[in-house]
A and B are shown apart, each in its own frame.
Chain A
Amino acid sequence: MLKYTIRRMIYVIPTLWAVVTFVFFLIRIVPGGPAVAALGSYATEESIRELEKQMGLDKPILVQYGIFLKDLCQGDLGRSLITNKPISQEIARALPYTLDLALGGMVIGVLLGIPTGIITALRRNRAPDYIGRILSLVGISMPEFYLGILLMYLFAIKLPLFPVLGGGDLSHCGSRLYHLFLPALTLGIIMTAFISRMVRSSMLNVLGEDYVRTARAKGLHERKVIYKHALRNALIPTVTVIGIYMSILMGGSVLTEIIFSRPGLGKMMVFAVKDRDYIALQSVIIIFSAFVFLFNLITDLLYGLIDPRIEYH
């Protein structure tokens, strides 16, 4: 397993290189540049050229690419073209907000999604199943920005329980959680919908298997049959989905961060696109990609823990 993990980690390097190279050239093809964005409506041709020179954008693109790769290998992500702050500092500041949100959303999704999936599977074609399925369909169909505003209206305006503004003080756990609840609930509800459907479907498959029938025939308590024999097997595909959704959640945090004014990575990425801040954008994408690889790896490793039949070579 250790060998497998190391090998997977090594594979990450060329994949990441391919991603960053693709992103590096792609974002430079898009019209509009950071100098125009930074200078706004006062931009003169001369001032645009001057600022591009200061930003190092007057160099040939291959030279810029070489500098970028060299700096990246030395662990230097560069400085934002707009704020001139080291990107690593900006990412270090934004990353906890996004991780909080993705993890919070996933925790809510798992806590609500798995029981809902089990209940709807066990009560198949009965009222709880219909209600669960309709709600999960609503959850999947509802855009997160709309759900976010709806929750904000309910739990911040009508019932003034939670704040609508900011991500809280990073050094203050209470403040951080207080500001996290509504955004995490927004993503959590959507995750609940996905996970509950997945669990329901897997459970229905497993409940029809011979070993479940055998367990029941042996006279095992129904709870033991469900939780030990059925759920454990049903969780294998669910874990895959959770792993994939975790990656999606990282990216899906973008709109939620904008709606709730959380200064996270998703928000940083959107504004980097808007401002054509190439350095910030490529750095954020590197971080996002790294997390996608990490979550995929964790998912693969979890298979082995859940399903002893799986071996790593």
Chain B
Amino acid sequence: MKWSKVLHFILIAMIPITFHFYSPSFAQEKVVRMALKASDIRSLDPHYGTTTIDYACIDPMFNGLVRFKPEDINPDKIEPDLAEKWERSKDNLVWTFYLRKGVKFHKGYGELTAEDVKFSLEKAANKTTSGFAADYAALDKVEAIDKYTVRITFKSAIPSVLGILTNYHGGYIVSKKAAMEKGEKFKFDPIGTGPFMLKDYIPKEKVVEVRHPDFFRAKPKLDRLELWFMPDASSREMAFRKGEIDIVEGEREQAWVNKMRGIPGTAIEIFGPGETLVLHFNLTKKPLDDIRVRRAICHAINLDELMKFLGPDVTEKLVSPIPMNYLGGTDKVPRYEFSPEKAKKLLTEAGYPKGLELSMVITEMSDYRRPMEQIQEQLRRVGINLKMDVITHTTFHQQIRKDVNPLVLYVCARFPTADPMLTQFYHSKSIVGTPTAITNFSHYNKIDDLIEKARGEPDPKNQKAIWAETQKKILEDAVALPLCITKFVFARKTNVDLGYEMRSTLTLVTPIKETTEIRK
């Protein structure tokens, strides 16, 4: 009996040692493993990828005609990518792009030509083949003039032509041959020109990309990139601590940042553009149809306390619905200082001297739930009893589009010009519940002319002035209250050298480029 116990113990002890020898080893390969807060990808077709994990997987595989610098999303610094140079007509409606020669698609799909660009942009503009067709509504036609020249004509001027041609959303260029050959399968077997190409997609586990040896900028320094889907924060942290993951998506909380800073060999990346937290008031719901009630809520919310609660390192001030680092963002807007007295006075004037009660739904996602719980507490102090039902994130998105909430907290990032946010949140065509609905939860309809005027304004100075006017109006009418910006937080092993200094990115994750490498 005793001997069998000893044998049993030895056998168990041998298991890890034995299996360790059998486990595959990639010691010779230069691999970066990134863990993201995600369950799975939706699509690797760049014209359908809408989630952070999609962006993370798509970005290393594709290029646009132009690109943001890897470390910076400043629209003024957009630089050539697949196009070497470009020229435009005086009215900004006709743009001609001259392509680089010798750019190779992955897996032998040939050289990039003007036909691929024409196909890609037409695909991006078609709502049956793209999730971003609305961004290309002004596109008139795309012509392949010769093998390396593309002419793009717009029906009307748009705020940033280069913006919709960057390495983001519909701007990514795909292989025409591969897309036509693979059809629906292209979503999970895409072909681009980027520094990495798809090797394997294991549903619910990871995407594996390998070096594209013919990448036009330079041979990528990494052999392989693995993007793991890990929704559980503790598991991501454990895998990072163990060294099985090199870059990990963090929680946007001060406590997480402080904890991870304590791990030796760890660099914390906190970068922009971040996501704006804006509280939208539904002007069609009583009592929020009364501007005094909306202003009372604005005065009752202590933004400094909220930012302190969310974490000073991971938040940034937001004074207008459009962040200052977006083209058209301004701080010349009315502000509602924190004043419970003013809030109570306004409520009394509006006929609610004893306070009032509001009911709403909120998603279980901590990025929304935590700030909203803090606001709930702040409103309670001035007599506003906010009842919140916590529901799943998908249901939340559906419910807020059905006008269920009097208050909608919306967390998002958009292309860094004022127009997308103003159009989607404050133009009457975007009012929820209408056939053209996007995300106008307020039902606001008083700045349509200004938004459209700014969109077609050729002079950048005038355009910025009109955008500033729209933001001023939004806050004067207390349609929405900008709360703050929460930045993206990642932890990285210091031996992973990104090859650039991270400041901001539209892919919302640390971009892996051909310059990224592992240092010893």
Q: Are A and B subunits of one complex?
A: yes
Mask: chain B, 1-31; 1 = CB below 8 Å from A; 0 = not: 0000000000000011011111110000000
B204–A274 contact, CB under 8 A?
A: no
Q: For chain A residues 188-231, which have a beta carbon within 8 Å of chain B? A: none
Determine the chain B residues whose CB is within 8 A of the CB of A41 once the complex forms.
50, 397, 410, 412, 439
Known: A32-B394, A46-B436. A83 touches B40 (CB 8 A): yes
A85-B23 CB under 8 A given contacts A32-B395, A40-B50? no
B-facing mask of A55-80, CB < 8 A → 1, else 0? 00000000000000000000000000
* In the complex with contacts A42-B50, A175-B24, A93-B202 CB distance below 8 A: yes
Task: Report if B225 contacts A (CB, 8 A).
Answer: no
Bound CA span A258–B239, Å: 13
Residue of A nearest to B438 (CB): A44
B363 to A: closest C-beta gap in Å: 10
Q: Which chain B residues in 238-289 approach chain A with CB under 8 Å?
A: 238-239, 241-242, 244-245
Binary contact readout B134-166 vs A (1 if CB under 8 angstroms, 0 otherwise) = 100000000000000000000000000000000
Interface string of A151-191 (1 = CB under 8 A from B): 01101110011111111110011110111010000000000
For chain A, residues 117 to 170, give those with C-beta under 8 angstroms from any C-beta of chain B.
149, 152-153, 155-157, 160-169
By size class, the interface of chain B is: 35 or more
Enumerate 22 A-B pairs (CB-CB under 8 Å) in ascending A order.
Answer: A31-B399, A36-B398, A39-B131, A46-B435, A83-B40, A84-B187, A90-B203, A93-B202, A149-B235, A153-B238, A155-B16, A165-B228, A166-B205, A168-B23, A172-B24, A174-B18, A174-B21, A177-B19, A261-B205, A262-B205, A268-B204, A275-B394
Q: Does B305 contact A (CB under 8 A)?
A: no
A208 vs B21: C-alpha distance when bound (angstroms): 50
Does A287 sit at the interface, judged by CB under 8 A? no
The answer to whether A47 touches B131 (Cβ under 8 A) is yes
Q: How far is the CA of A178 from the CA of B22 in the complex (A)?
A: 8
Residues of A within 8 A of B19 (CB): 174-175, 177-178, 181
Q: Report A104-120 CB contacts with B as 1/0, cut-off 8 Å.
A: 00000000000000000
Bound form: Cα–Cα A270–B38 in Å: 12
Report the 4 A-B pairs with minimum CB-CB distance, sorted nearest first.
A174-B22, A178-B19, A263-B205, A32-B395
Given contacts A40-B51, A45-B437, A93-B202, contact A84 B242 (CB under 8 A): no
Contacts of B203 in A (CB 8 A): 83, 85, 90, 93-94, 263, 268
* Minimal Cβ-Cβ distance residue in A for B202: A263
Which DSSP category, helix, strand, loop or mixed, fits chain A's interface? Answer: helix
**A259→B232 contact, CB < 8 A:** yes
Instruction: Tell me, rounded to whole Å, the shortest Cβ–Cβ distance linking A219 to chain B.
Output: 21
B274–chain A nearest beta-carbon distance, Å: 15
Interface residues of B (CB under 8 A from A): 15-16, 18-24, 39-43, 50-51, 127-128, 131-134, 184, 187-188, 202-206, 228-232, 234-235, 238-239, 241-242, 244-245, 391-399, 401, 410, 412, 430, 432-439
Partner among A47, A264, A270 whose Cβ is within 8 Å of the Cβ of B127: A47
A39 contacts across to B, CB distance below 8 A:
50, 131
Residue pair A259, B235 in contact (C-beta under 8 Å) = yes
Instruction: Establish whether residues B234 and A149, one from each chain, have CB atoms under 8 Å apart when the complex forms.
Output: yes
A233 to chain B, nearest CB (A): 22
Contacts of A155 in B (CB 8 A): 16
Q: Which chain A residue shows the least CB distance to B1?
A: A223
Question: A83-B203, A175-B23 are contacts. A164–B436 as well, Cβ < 8 Å?
Answer: no
Interface residue A82 (Cβ < 8 Å from any Cβ of B): yes
User: Is the C-beta of A311 less than 8 angstroms from some C-beta in chain B?
Assistant: no
Give the distance in Å from the alpha carbon of A166 to the alpha carbon of B26 in the complex.
15
- Which residues from chain B contact A260 at a C-beta distance below 8 Å? 235
Taking CB as reference atom, which chain A residue is nearest B44? A83
Chain A residues whose C-beta falls within 8 Å of the C-beta of B41 in the assembled complex: 83
User: For A179, what are the chain B residues with a Cβ–Cβ distance below 8 Å?
Assistant: 23
- Cα–Cα distance between A175 and B19 once the two chains are bound (Å): 7
B244 touches A44 (CB 8 A): no
Complex CA–CA separation, A167 to B51 (angstroms): 24
Inter-chain CA distance A38–B42, complex, in Å, is 6
Cβ contacts under 8 Å, B434 to chain A: 45
B204 interface neighbour in A149, A164, A271, Cβ under 8 Å: A271
